[in-house]
Amino acid sequence: MRVSSKGEYSLRALIVLAKYSEKRLKVKEISEEILVPTPYLEKLLAQLKTLDYITSKRGMDGGFQLKKESSEIFIGEVIRKLEGPLAPMGCVSVTSYEACSLEPTCLLQPLWGLVRDTVADVLDATTLQDLLDQNIQMKGEKTDGFLR
pLDDT in tens, 9-39: 999 999 999 999 999 999 999 999 999 999 9
Residue 84: its pLDDT value, please? 87
Is residue 136 in a domain? no
CA distance 147 to 87: 27
In this structure, the answer to whether residues 60 and 9 fall within a common structural domain is yes
Using CA atoms, how far residue 16 sits from 12, 42, 68, 81, 82, in Å, is 6, 14, 14, 19, 18
In this structure, the answer to whether residues 54 and 96 fall within a common structural domain is no
In this structure, the answer to whether residues 60 and 79 fall within a common structural domain is no
In this structure, the answer to whether residues 12 and 28 fall within a common structural domain is yes
Domain extent for 103: 74-126
Q: Could you read off the pLDDT of 59-112 as tens digits, one per residue?
A: 888 999 999 999 999 999 999 999 988 888 888 887 777 888 887 888 988 888
In this structure, what CATH number is given to the domain that contains residue 15?
1.10.10.10
For 25, phi then psi, to 5°, come to -110, 140
CA distance 1 to 82: 12
In this structure, the answer to whether residues 84 and 110 fall within a common structural domain is yes
Is residue 92 in a domain? yes
In this structure, the answer to whether residues 54 and 78 fall within a common structural domain is no
Q: Last residue of a domain, which of 66, 85, 109?
A: 66
In this structure, the answer to whether residues 11 and 58 fall within a common structural domain is yes
